[in-house]
Amino acid sequence: MCKKLKRQIWKSMPILVIFCLLWSTFAVGVVFNLNFNIYNKQENNLNFVIPEAQADQATTTVFVLNASPYFVLGPFEKPFSTNTTPVNVGETLVFTALADDPELNDYYLLVCATSSGAAVNGGAPACQGTQFCVSGATAVSASSTCVYTNVVDPGAETDDWYAYVCDGHATEAACSPVNQGSGDGGSPFYVNHAPTIDLVITSDNNKAPGGTFTVTASSTDTDVLGGADTIYFDICATNSWSTTTRCAVSLCYATSTISGGITATSCQFTINSVVPDQNYTYYAYIQDWHNLAGTNNGTSTYYTVINVAPIVSGVVINNTIDIAPNLKGSAEAIATSTGTVTDYNGCTDLLDATSTIYWESVSGAENCTANDNNCYKMTAVDCIEDVGSCTGDTDSNTTYTCTTQIAFYAVPTDTSARYASSTVWRAALAISDDNGAFGIATSVAGVDVETNTALDVTESGINYGTMSAGSNTGNNNATTTVVNYGNSPLDAGIYGTDMIDSPYYIRATYQEYSLINFGWGAGTDLSSSTIPYAELDVLIARPTSLTNVTDEVLWGLGLPVTTHSGDYTGTTTFVAIIDENGSW
């Protein structure tokens, strides 16, 4: 028992304490003249006589834990973020470091938002709070990187970071002390915030095709570190934009420097010369000088292209060819008016064309009241857009042709007419668009309506009935009715042939005519000569409607006593002659 106790005491006492105890014992022995013997193991006895000293050994032990990796280089951002080169919210920040490990364990680079990094046995470390990133296992003496993707807005322009290098020891994983780097590459990193579109308006709006519009936009950017941000404004015709290629279809753009967190700027754009009238949507986009797209990007509003009236030009009547009316009883002659219509809202904007062909002396001219004597109105049914002349809403020009029928009695204006050299016929072409805007123009050059001088005799013949040789018709006159078939007042030229029953004949001069009832012998003898023929002043006025305008010629016959019996036949010709002083 004593041997065990001694061994236990010996083992439990540090060498220095044993030395001190021995020293004290010797000292006490000297002072008090005591005599000790050291315990003799072999003899297994105790006595206080110390004849000699024997050496002994103590074993030293310590348990050393796994050593953590340590930074050799870094940590730092790559590339550095500064107040002039911040990382954009939503983009990527890379951290890098070089580390070593006493036990040559692979290591991880861990970056936290707070000093909360912790090792994880057998795996990658993790932050106890917000974690920015952690690398994969990296061999010692090799650089390690971790990537903070989709950088979150910290609410400020800087965000602190705390880095560790940690191993993934199976049971005693360990991390280095926290390290925030130094200089521009060290904590904190700088964060750039997106600007915000506040307002977009068309400040100068409602323009005709070819006009210039002004767009005014305002935005807010709260960043102040590194100086005021420059904001780039893009106004796009379509909802397609990127920070690199900008607008897919650009209307205009501008730049502005933020002052006090708010900026406003304007840009202008000019539209094409042919544009349909309507509202056009456009889209606003912004980015700051760090190429960070703004919030509210794609904000849309519109500009308005107003309607403009169509313009009529180049009106031509009947292809500049004089109009030749047909005679009464024939199909009516055709006359046309043509013209070019320009609409800067596009030729598809047009609705109805109308036209007037008119005698320029008629009351109201192109606004005259329809009358076949002097004013022909053509409606939209009569006015047709020429096929292929309008190619779409970006085409401003088209042509129209309007057609009407000219009555046989239309007022003539050629050299044969009373109005020769003083008046002509003209055409007017008018058109409206889908907003009711109206355009009209008149032909510069006029044409004449030609004079048609013609007559018709209603009766098929002049029948004197049955007579005896040597007799005459007395006051019993035969009648012929002369009808005006043209568009001028008429006189009539008359001549005839002898009536024949071969080999016998009755001279034409035995026939007499008059405009009033007469007794034979008091009339005018019928001439048998074509030149000069006899002219009879029948005074038939120019027709002004389809109603016949006529005059009667009365006839009588006297037979010589030598007239042989028989059935005699001849012809009488009526020639239409213009009555220049007649009723036009």
Degrees to nearest 5, angle at CA 170 with 168 and 175: 35
Burial of 417 (C-beta count, 10 Å sphere; 0-12/13-18/19+)? buried
| C-alpha span between 87 and 151 (Å, rounded) | 8
Q: Give me the domains of the chain, ranges plus CATH numbers.
A: 1-58 (no CATH), 70-192 (2.60.40), 196-304 (2.60.40.150), 311-442 (2.60.40), 455-578 (2.60.40)
Q: What is the DSSP track for 224-251? A: -TTSPPEEEEEEESSS-EETTTEESSEE
| DSSP secondary structure, 454-509, as one string | -EEESSS--------TT-B-TT--EEEEEEE-SSS-EEEEEEE--EEETTEEE-GG
Partner residues linked to 164 by β-bridges:
110
Q: Which two tokens stand for residue 440?
A: 């009209």
Q: What is the pLDDT along the chain (584 residues), one digit of tens a residue?
A: 333 333 333 344 444 333 333 333 333 333 333 343 444 444 444 444 555 557 889 999 888 889 999 999 999 999 999 999 999 999 999 999 999 999 999 999 999 999 999 999 999 999 999 999 999 999 998 999 999 999 999 999 999 999 999 999 999 999 999 999 999 999 999 999 999 999 999 999 999 999 999 999 999 998 888 887 889 999 999 999 999 999 999 999 999 887 657 788 999 999 999 999 999 999 999 999 999 999 999 999 999 999 999 999 999 999 999 999 999 999 999 999 999 999 999 999 999 999 999 999 999 999 999 999 999 999 999 999 999 999 999 999 999 999 999 999 999 999 887 766 689 999 999 999 999 999 999 999 999 999 999 999 999 999 999 999 999 999 999 999 999 999 999 999 999 999 999 999 999 999 999 999 999 999 999 998 888 888 888 889 999 999 999 999 999 999 999 999 999 999 999 999 999 888 88
**Cβ atoms 332, 311 nearer than 8 A:** no
- Unique residue bearing structure tokens 């029953």: 501
Give CA torsion, residues 507, 508, 510, 513, to 10 deg.
180
The C-alpha atoms of residue 83 and residue 259 are separated, in whole angstroms, by 17
**CA separation for the pair 573, 464 (Å, rounded):** 17
Q: Coil, strand, or helix at residue 33?
A: coil
pTM for this one? 0.73
Give the pair of three-digit tokens for residue 40. Answer: 């003799």
CB count in 10 Å sphere of residue 546: 10
